[in-house]
Amino acid sequence: MLSKKAKYSLNALSFLGKRYGDGPVLITEIAEEENIPRKFLEAILLELKKNGVLGSKMGKGGGYYLLKNPEDVNLADVIRIFDGAIGLLPCVTHKYFEPCEECHDIETCGIRFVLKEVRDITVNALKDRTLADIIAEEKKRTRRKKRS
Amino acid sequence: MLSKKAKYSLNALSFLGKRYGDGPVLITEIAEEENIPRKFLEAILLELKKNGVLGSKMGKGGGYYLLKNPEDVNLADVIRIFDGAIGLLPCVTHKYFEPCEECHDIETCGIRFVLKEVRDITVNALKDRTLADIIAEEKKRTRRKKRS
DNA sequence: AAATATTCTATTAGTTCTGTAGAATTTAAG
DNA sequence: CTTAAATTCTACAGAACTAATAGAATATTT
C-alpha cells in the first residue's frame, strides 16, 4: 500500500501536470482542490522539489510547478521518493539493498530469486506509466461520463 | 515491502514444502533451521493454519505440516494473509476495497485506473509463482554452487 | 500420571505514519 | 524601504502498527 504522502503526491502532481507550462501554482490552491491538508502538503512538495521533480518560486506570485513534461515523470520514481523500495524484500532492490538476517545463503535463496522476478515486473509496470497517462485517463473518463 | 511475518512465513513454508508428506514438523525445528524467533513463529504458523494452508497436531509427536502440494500454494495468497491487499491503493483492491477520502470521483479517477493496471500485473505475477518454484530454484542454485 | 506440543491471552518497547504549530526566509510591488 | 505574500525550516505529538516476549491453558501420546 502507498503511504498518504505518496498518494497525495500523485494527486498534487496530476494537478500540476494539467497546469504544466502555466507558471507557479499556490500550495493553498493545490491543497484545496485536491483535498490535502495544507501543512502536510508543504512537506510533500518540498520533498518533490528536493528530488528534482518540482521547481518553486518564493514570495509573492510564487508557488510550485512541474519541471518536466508529464509524460517524462514515471510512477516508479515518484513512489520511491516517499515509500522507498518497490520490491518486496531489501535483498531484491538495488538502492536499498540489504541481505536478510535470517538468510542462510543469499546466492542460493529461492525466495529472493522468485521475488526478484516479481519486483522487476512491478517496477517495469510503474516505469512504463506516467503522469500523462493519469491525466489522459481522467480526461477520457470525464468526457465519457458527461456524454451519457 | 513485506512484513517480517510475511517473510518468515515464506521461509517456514519453504521448509515445510521440502518436507511435504513427511508428517508433522516441530515449531522449534523450523525456528532453529530458519533463524526465526520461536515465539513469533508460533503466531505465524497458527495464522497459516487458520487460513487453511497448514495442518497441525498437538501433543507428543505433534507439529505443523503443509496441507496442499507446494505447487498449489501461490505467493499472492500467502502474502495477503499477513500483509493484506497487494494493490497500492484500497480503491484498486477487491477484498479490502475502500474509496479514497480525498477523491473527487472514483469513476473518473486516473490514478485509480492506472494503479489498478499495476495491481493486476503484480497480483498475476504472484499468483503464477508458488512454493514449488522457490524450492526448485533453491535446489538448482545449490547444485550449481556445489559443482563449482 | 508425566512428558511433550500446540494454542490462547496479554503485554510491551520501539518505530513509523499522519498531521500540526510557529518562526525564519525570500520575493514582488508600491 | 516597507509591507504583504509566499515558500522553507525546525520541532513536536498523538495514533497506529510492528516485532517480539511471557506465561498459562489445552490437547495428545506413552
Q: Are residues A39 and A61 in the same domain?
A: yes
Report if residue B108 sits inside a domain: yes
**Looking at the domain assignment, is residue B139 inside a domain?**
no
Of B14, B110, B125, Cβ closest to residue A138: B110
Question: Domain with A32 in it: what CATH number?
Answer: 1.10.10.10
Structure letter (DSSP) for residue A94: S
- Is A100's CB within 8 Å of B1's CB? no
Q: What is the C-alpha separation between A137 and A36, in angstroms, rounded? A: 22
Whether residue A60 is contained in a domain is answered as yes
B78 plus B94 within the same structural domain: yes
pLDDT at B107 over 80: yes
Q: CB closer than 7 A to strand D: which residues? A: A 24, 26-28, 42-43, 45-46, 49, 56-64; B 3-5, 8, 37-40, 42-43, 57-62, 83
Same domain, A46 and A86: no
Residue B145 in grid coordinates: 554452487
In a domain, A141, yes or no: no
3-state SS, residue B128? coil
Give residue A11's pLDDT.
98
| Mean per-residue pLDDT, A19-34 | 97
Q: Is the pLDDT of residue A148 over 90?
A: no
Query: Are residue A53 and residue A78 in the same domain, yes or no?
Result: no
Give the torsion through C-alpha atoms of B126, A84, A31, B97, to 10 deg.
20
Indicate if B78 and B40 belong to the same structural domain.
Answer: no
B58 and B105 co-located in one domain = no
Distance between B27 CA and the closest CA of chain A, angstroms: 16
**Structural domain that includes position A103:** 74-129
Q: Which residue has the cell 521440502?
A: B18
Which of B45, B66, B87 is a domain's end point?
A: B66
Q: What is the DSSP string of B26-63?
A: -HHHHHHHHT--HHHHHHHHHHHHHTTSEEEE-STT-E
Bridge-based pairing state of the strands A54-57 and A63-66: antiparallel
A93 and A61 assigned to the same domain = no
pTM for the model stands at 0.95
Same domain, A44 and A88: no
- Let me know if residue A22 belongs to a domain: yes
Helices (H), ranges, chain B: 4-18, 27-34, 38-50, 75-83, 110-127, 131-147
Total domains present in chain A: 2
- B53 and B81, same structural domain? no
**Of B49, B66, B83, the domain-final residue:** B66
Tens of pLDDT along A36-91? 999 999 999 999 999 999 999 999 999 999 999 999 999 999 999 999 999 999 99
pLDDT in tens, B36-48: 999 999 999 999 9
